[in-house]
Amino acid sequence: MAGSGRTAEFGTKVAIRIEFYTGSYHASGDIEVSRWHITDLLNDKARPSIIIDNAIREPLPQIVQPGEQPLARATPILQIAKQAIILAVPHETMNLAAARQQYIAALYQERSQATAIVVCPPFELKGIVHLRRGFQVKNGFDELATDFIPVTELEATYIPDARIRINSEFAVINRQRAELVVLTDDGPKKMARGFRTE
């Protein structure tokens, strides 16, 4: 059984629970990934949208009219345009725990890190972005070859209501949705331990 579990973790695709945030909606559901390569899936130009199974979608608070109650809707399958995604936050998955930790460890070992504040209305995102070696702070985002980039130690604040926050050890952000970016090169950083999302 241990062998088959390892095959599932490092070989065939498995479903993980993930949350997506756009400018107007929050959607959650299951997607299939191989290992923990969520950024590869999002950066696949051949597929302009993501298919979510067992999905729930709900409008962000600013979309709801005064006096109305936010209405969450469930659907077996939901298609979301990649270009609309601001933030993707995967949930912890026990059968991918080792692959997740290996992927995050590689970000710290193989790339340079920078502390970032990224404003993607209606969210302000803070965390550690992982860029190519030798990046220049001034052009850090412009030098990237892909749109979706990994961020660790994420704290996302919903600008219209700062009481609403999203915290996660790992997330993926869409740099094309960024309106303002502040990067600070603080030198090499150590990988934090433990997975959390609130």
**How high is the pLDDT of residue 1?**
41
Are 35 and 138 a contacting pair, CB within 8 Å? no
163: which DSSP letter?
T
Distances (CA, A) of 18 to 2, 12, 47, 89: 25, 18, 18, 6
- List, for residues 140-158, the tens digit of each pLDDT value: 677 777 899 999 999 999 9
**DSSP E strand stretches across 86-195:** 87-90, 112-120, 123-131, 148-158, 165-174, 180-184
Of all residues in the chain, the percent with pLDDT exceeding 90 is 48
- List, for residues 24-57, the tens digit of each pLDDT value: 999 999 998 876 788 999 999 999 999 999 999 9
Token pair for 43: 């950066």
Q: ∠ at Cα 163 (124, 55), nearest 5°? A: 75
Q: What's the average model confidence in pLDDT over 121-125?
A: 96
| 112-120 and 87-90 beta bridge pairing | unpaired
Q: How many CB atoms lie within 10 A of CB 113?
A: 23
**How high is the pLDDT of residue 167?**
95
Please list, residue by residue across 31-69, b when 16 or more beta carbons sit within 10 angstroms of its beta carbon and e when fewer do.
bebbbbebbebbbeeeeeebebeebebbbbeeeeeeeee
**How high is the pLDDT of residue 112?**
79
Q: How far apart are CA 11 and CA 99, in angstroms?
A: 10
Q: Could you tell me which CATH class the domain 94-184 is placed in?
A: mainly beta
Q: How is the chain split into domains, by residue range?
A: 2-90, 94-184
**pTM to 2 decimal places:** 0.82
Q: How far apart are CA 44 and CA 17, in angstroms?
A: 19
CB burial class (10 A; 0-12, 13-18, 19+) of residue 27? Answer: buried
Identify the weakest region by mean pLDDT among 73-77, 137-141, 145-149: 137-141
Q: Could you tell me which CATH class the domain 2-90 is placed in?
A: mainly beta
Q: Please tell me which residue, 82 or 33, carries the higher pLDDT value.
A: 82
Domains 2-90 and 94-184 belong to one CATH topology: yes
Q: Residue 2's pLDDT band (boundaries 50, 70, 90)?
A: very low
**How high is the pLDDT of residue 80?**
96
Tokens 């997740």 correspond to: 100
Tokens 């890190």 correspond to: 113
AA identity, residue 181: V
